[in-house]
Amino acid sequence: MPPAAIECIRVTKRMSSGARVLTILAELDLSVERGDSVAIVGPSGSGKSTLLGLLAGLDRPTDGEVRLLGESLGELDEDELALLRRHHVGFVFQDFQLLANITAIENVLLPLELSGADGADERATELLQRVGLAERLHHYPSQLSGGEQQRVALARAFATRPPVLLADEPTGNLDGVTGGAALDLMYELREQAGSTLVLVTHDPQVAERARRRVRLVDGRIVSDERDA
Amino acid sequence: MKLAIALRWMRRESRGARGRMLYFTACLAVGVAAIVGVAALSQAIENGFRESSREILGADVSVDARRLLPPQLDEIAARHSGVERTDVLETASMVSALGPDGRARRNVLAQVHALTGRYPLYGDLVTEPAGGVAHLAADTALVPADLLRDLELEPGDEILIAGTPFRVAAAILRGPPQFGFSSMLGPRLFVSGEGLKRAPLLFVGSRVRHRALFALGDGATPGDVKALAADFASIEDAAYLDVDTHIDAGPGGRQSRRRLQSFLGRVALLSAIVGGIGVAQIVRAWLAGRTQSIAVLRCLGVRPREILLISLGHTTLLAFAGSSIGAVLGCGLPLLVDALVPNLVPGGLSVTFPAVAVARGMVIGVGIAVCFSLPPLLAIWRVSPARVLRADAAPLPAPRWIAVATALAIGGGVLGAAIVQSDKIAWALWFTAGFAVLVALLALGARALIAAAGLVPRRRLERHLAHGVAALARPGAGTIGAVVALGLGTMVVATMWLVETRLREGLLAQVPPGAPSVFLLDVQPEQRDGVRAALENAAALYVDEVPLVMGRIESIDGRPVDELVAEERAADSHTADSRTVDPSGAKRGPGDRRRRSLRSLTREQRMTTLETLGPSNRVVAGELWSDPDHLELSVEQGFARRLGLELGTRVGFDVGGKPIELRVTSLREVEWQSFSFNFFLVAEPGAFDGASTLYLASGRLPAADEAALQDSVVADFPNVSVLRLGKVIEQVSEMIGRTAAGVGALGTFTVLAALLVLAGAASATALRRRREIALLKTLGVTRAGVVALLATEFGLAGALGGLIGGAGALSLAWAFLTFVAEQSVDLPWSLLPIATLLCGLAAALSGLLASLRALRVRPIEALR
């Protein structure tokens, strides 16, 4: 049986704030099966985004272990973590995080070029067509609306068909209608790519779309629900 | 990462970076233009000299000496085919116009060259009326047109040369060029060989240089020229000959030109390095604005080293562009100089493509850009990818080896550039160490002043000033780098100015208070009383008179000079292989010292007899006139060392055909700068009794009376030359001024580079500035108000740079003048406020120009 997509074993994250040391996550255990979709919910400051950063290897836990696709992240250096993300992880952010000095299609091309995929141009064009931006390929992010930027970000996230997709408040900066459309698109692309989805949100409606919902309060899991 | 992808990413990086690219390339272009320009101009000058070297020397081979030339010259010339010879006797004399009263008026010290044979052998002597030396007869002279104008004469008029009338046959409009000290002796006029005999200029002990010019014709190869010169140089018993060829002679002071070129090259290097500081500033500010993008890239799986390579590749491309622009500008410098100063080199500059200089400039430009970019690029490692989720994510530590390597990169870059520019590793190491200390001191000064600015109670300051002071200390303002760069630039220019003006003043100050101001040369024994009376009539304050006896060394400790010369020559041939060759092409080594001693052994010696020594002489060994049994000789210690003379050595002389043996009983140290008559060889009184003797006289009198004394001496004693010290100092001072002007002009490149650094820093922070300006406008500050705020901010940074640079220049100039020029220094402290003010103004202007776009932006665009 293949290992779980994501495993957190007694993960603790502390940070110093001035003279104080804050515990953001406390001995947290979590396992996400391959192909599953999990929403991490909780109030502001509960540690959702910190957890997402740890899952992606963007940050390191103070204690405990994080495994991604069976690989223990603590044993990898920054370069190895970068390569792991390059080949296995896609990201969607609340504020899109598109590179401002390159066009929509170049943003989508970025992970394809990094992974050395063949037919990168065709794949990027196809993805942008699928997200409804066929006419906007060569526009810069500043020339696109918020919804359009998030669609470019989704196309970029799924460009390499990553086994794991991590999303941080993907509809947080969008109005209800646009956010709903973006969410639909994200689930549709996820289905096609077969990616495991871990999504951080404070919006119950967004969380409802996931098969599983983990609730964090003060850095601890207080509930873990799964659709029947 | 594949190369094609990396290149594509580099291309994308350059988008939206017009401002950054402009200043980045400009910073480098200025430095590279200075480096290539100096080298290209040097090359064009050297080419010009080389192409007209025959015209400058006036021959293929020149042989000269202060005594009659040996007859073997003709025999040797006859052995080589097609050799033509012309003889020139070179001396100096007073020349005058004839006044209506029949006496000399308007006297000028001039060079008189007497020609026998065709002249010039190469080049032109253009006269009006045309005809050149064909006009010369026993009673005619060719006189420079400028001199004729000064004397208010015209062709056909009479001119007095050493009191002898000559008819001006033609005015010289252009003749073979002259360089170095001889060109400062005064205008040059030509007479015939017979003509010179008419004037009372040839007598025992007169100052005549005998020169024979040889031409081999247009078909001669360099080998033929060198063979003829080698044959002349190998004449037995003629070590006193100076043999030059147009190929090797270094016409026009090649050595001093090379030294100047090398110095200018090093000043140019400084502007390139200041440009490097600008590059570092711009890269740092650029990365600060790219932090979020770097975080995204790292989040997407791009490794720091890949981001570094892309950034470095982008930097290298920009550096290549900037250096290319600089190289093109530098290549154009000789054309510009040729247009502005057409007579810099006789025959004009010969401009060719300076391939080596361009390659050197490109290597230095790109190398400095890459090395100076590395430390700021280290920030790539420190950007945490977690910033994509949290803006306050703590920076990551950079690997230690990368931190060390990038920190060393700047030192390596400066060292590498210095090696490439100078070809001298030891010098490059000193330069790098000196530069590091200098920058560290400037940075410390800048940091201290900025910290002090932070402590100023801003509430009490005027609004604009308060903003400017606050902006100085703001993190990420790039102030320190800009201040250091401007400080460096200011220091270069101000130091050059200080050293030049103080050296000029020092020249005058060097003349001791009681030193003579007028020297009277070639006074005959029967003229002594008359000359002394003339000096006394002119109320000269101090009158000195010394005898001058000419003689040749015949033997040392009983060994004939011929034997010693043969021994020296044999030793010379053994050491010929051990000579070292320095990059300037000059050969130095034991062989050269021997040639100097050979010349000293065989030349005509000027000697004097004195009862007591003057204040500029100090006995360092033995005792003056202490041996009643022998005729005694006192020798200057350096001269003694050269000839191997010691206390007790017997030196035999031939004085006017009479053998005299003297014994060395004292060695002296001589202060040559004392402006009094000094000699290598001083004999005890009576040693040369009966020998033909001339006298040298000197006196000190007010400058206003010098001309009258000169006129009266020339009228009564036409053969006596009058040398006015003030005139000579004027000439030297003018030469220092011309050199310093060149260095100063190059120094302004450093200031320009520094202003670009400041403008670049302003431009690189344009995004932040746009927001600030928008906020200020939103809060109701008018555009004029914003301009005033920014001008104060930039002006204060510039003023700091000027203050620090001015202080640095005062320190450097003081150190140079005190320890190198050994001159007492009175430094002008007013330099500090002037440098502060000027740099402040220049910085305010350049900063505002760089912020024009940000100033034009509408608040809503920046705040949206």
| ipTM entry | 0.90
Q: Do A110 and B300 touch (CB under 8 A)?
A: yes
Q: Do B299 and A56 touch (CB under 8 A)?
A: yes
Q: Which of residues 325-384 of B touch A (CB under 8 A)?
A: 384
Structural domain A6-226, CATH architecture: 3-Layer(aba) Sandwich (3.40)
Domain ranges of chain A: 6-226
Residue among B12, B303, B390 whose CB faces A49 most closely: B390
Q: Model confidence over B114-150: pLDDT tens digits?
A: 999 898 888 888 899 988 888 888 899 999 998 898 8
Task: Say yes or no: B864 contacts chain A, CB-CB below 8 A.
Answer: no
What is residue B843's three-state secondary structure?
Answer: helix
Residue among B2, B301, B389 whose CB faces A82 most closely: B301
Task: Say yes or no: A178 contacts chain B, CB-CB below 8 A.
Answer: no
CB contacts < 8 A, A to B, total: 80
What is residue B653's three-state secondary structure?
Answer: strand
Give the pLDDT score at B239: 73
The residues of chain B scoring below 50 in pLDDT are 251-252, 576-592
Measured in angstroms, the CA of A228 and the nearest CA of chain B are apart by 32
Q: Model confidence over B738-790: pLDDT tens digits?
A: 666 766 677 777 777 777 777 776 666 666 677 777 777 777 778 888 888 88
| Cα–Cα distance for residue pair B527/B538, rounded to 1 Å | 17
Kind and range of the H or E element at B286?
Answer: helix B254-289
Q: Which of residues 61-120 of A touch B (CB under 8 A)?
A: 78-79, 82-87, 89, 91, 93, 97, 99-102, 106, 110-111, 113-114, 116
Measured in angstroms, the CA of B14 and the nearest CA of chain A are apart by 9
| Cα–Cα distance for residue pair B837/B830, rounded to 1 Å | 11
Could you give the angle at the alpha carbon of A91 between the alpha carbons of A88 and A96, nearest 5°?
160
Which residues in chain A are contacts of B300 at CB distance < 8 A?
Answer: 85-86, 91, 110-111, 114
Q: Model confidence over A2-17: pLDDT tens digits?
A: 788 999 999 999 988 7
Mutate: best of B9, B314, B387, B388, partner A, most A CBs <10 A = B388
Which residues in chain A are contacts of B17 at CB distance < 8 A?
Answer: 101
**Residue A1 CB contacts under 8 Å (≥ 6 apart), including other chains:** none
Task: Say yes or no: B297 contacts chain A, CB-CB below 8 A.
Answer: yes
Which residues in chain B are contacts of A58 at CB distance < 8 A?
Answer: 299, 384-386, 388-389
Residue among A49, A82, A168 whose CB faces B303 most closely: A82
Kind and range of the H or E element at B271?
Answer: helix B254-289
Q: Which is higher by pLDDT, B402 or A58?
A: A58
Q: Do A83 and B8 touch (CB under 8 A)?
A: no
**Residue B741 CB contacts under 8 Å (≥ 6 apart), including other chains:** none
Measured in angstroms, the CA of B757 and the nearest CA of chain A are apart by 25
Answer whether B500's CB lies under 8 Å from B821's CB: no
Nearest chain A residue to B16 by CA distance is: A101
Give the pLDDT score at B451: 81
Residue among A87, A89, A114 whose CB faces B302 most closely: A114
Q: Do B388 and A58 touch (CB under 8 A)?
A: yes
Mutate: best of A49, A91, A142, partner B, most B CBs <10 A = A91
Which residues in chain B are contacts of A52 at CB distance < 8 A?
Answer: 389
Would you list the DSSP string of B601-619?
A: HHSPEEEEE-SS--TTEEE
Classify residue B738 as exposed, middle or buried by CB count within 10 Å of its CB (0-12, 13-18, 19+).
exposed
Rounded-to-5 percentages of helix, strand, coil across chain B? 55, 15, 25
Which residues in chain B are contacts of A85 at CB distance < 8 A?
Answer: 299-301
Q: Model confidence over A129-147: pLDDT tens digits?
A: 988 899 999 999 989 998 8
Give the pLDDT score at B591: 47
Which residues in chain A are contacts of B292 at CB distance < 8 A?
Answer: 97
Measured in angstroms, the CA of A69 and the nearest CA of chain B are apart by 16
In whole angstroms, how far apart are CA A7 and each of A11, A51, A223?
A: 10, 12, 17
Give the pLDDT score at B507: 65
What is residue B521's three-state secondary structure?
Answer: strand
| Cα–Cα distance for residue pair B766/B770, rounded to 1 Å | 6
Give B619's strand partners. B668
Kind and range of the H or E element at B652?
Answer: strand B650-655
Q: How many other C-beta atoms are found inside a 10 Å radius of the C-beta of residue B291?
A: 17
Nearest chain A residue to B397 by CA distance is: A78
| Cα–Cα distance for residue pair B58/B35, rounded to 1 Å | 33
- Percent over 90 (pLDDT), chain A: 65
- Percent over 70 (pLDDT), chain A: 100
Nearest chain B residue to A60 by CA distance is: B386
Q: Which is higher by pLDDT, B520 or A30?
A: A30
Q: Do A113 and B386 touch (CB under 8 A)?
A: no
Give B519's strand partners. B698, B723
Nearest chain B residue to A102 by CA distance is: B12
Residue among A53, A86, A116 whose CB faces B300 most closely: A86
Nearest chain A residue to B864 by CA distance is: A142
